[in-house]
Amino acid sequence: MASLLGEQLFQLTCQGPPPTKDFFQLVITKNEVIWRSWKISLQLGYRGAPPEELKSSHHDFLERKILQQNVGVIFGQRILEYTISLCQGKFDYLERLPDDIMLRIMSYLQLKETTLLAQVSHRFRKLCNSEKFWEHTLRNRCDGFTNDMENIANAMGWRWTFFTYFHHSGSKLQQ
């Protein structure tokens, strides 16, 4: 199943916490963890300094507590835990599915189940609140969907149209 993964498993870039203005990048590939940093400073000693890059195997990353601490400080505990999981070979395939496939799977769930799914991760919350999700939901659960309804949904929003339709029509939601 790991063959379904691309070479790069994860990448994140951010500016470090104040007072520095340094930038950091974390890249996790199938075989290694790459830590890059760029010093942003007006001090003479740092002007024109090249970016630093540190590469380590997954095994070495798991052993290097200082590198783990750096990841935790710069990117947060959640990203550190995710990085450790990837280095241990624990891949979350559901999180890696393309949005269109996830939306198709979600279309088979009851609305109360999608409410729970939205609590699982930032990605699922974003999908469950997306206009694309509400468009699928309205089209799949609304008997007699019309072009006029589509025009209203495009103008007012699919989520708004979904709840307005079921509130005013007295229709029951198709489970």
Query: Residue 174 falls within a domain, yes or no?
Result: no
Asked if 73 and 50 sit in the same domain, the reply is: yes
Output the CA torsion sign for 112, 100, 122, 167: negative
pLDDT for the residue 167 = 66
Asked if 22 and 44 sit in the same domain, the reply is: yes
- In tens, the pLDDT along 37-79 reads 998 876 677 777 788 999 999 999 999 999 999 999 999 998 9
CATH of the domain at 129: 1.20.1280
Q: Model's pTM, two decimal places?
A: 0.59
Question: Average pLDDT in the 106-132 region?
Answer: 90
Between 1-10, 31-40, 157-166, the lowest mean confidence (pLDDT) is in 1-10
Asked if 128 and 147 sit in the same domain, the reply is: yes
Query: Residue 11 falls within a domain, yes or no?
Result: yes
- Contact in structure between 22 and 15 (CB atoms under 8 Å): yes
Query: Residue 107 falls within a domain, yes or no?
Result: yes
Asked if 11 and 62 sit in the same domain, the reply is: yes
Asked if 8 and 54 sit in the same domain, the reply is: yes
- Provide the domain limits for residue 109: 98-169
Q: Answer with the residue of higher pLDDT: 78 or 144.
A: 78
- Number of domains, the chain: 2
Q: Answer with the residue of higher pLDDT: 168 or 57.
A: 57
pLDDT for the residue 170 = 59
Percent of the chain with pLDDT over 70: 90
Residue 153 has pLDDT above 70, yes or no: yes
Query: Residue 115 falls within a domain, yes or no?
Result: yes
Asked if 149 and 104 sit in the same domain, the reply is: yes
- Contact in structure between 62 and 84 (CB atoms under 8 Å): yes
Average pLDDT, the chain: 85
pLDDT for the residue 175 = 46
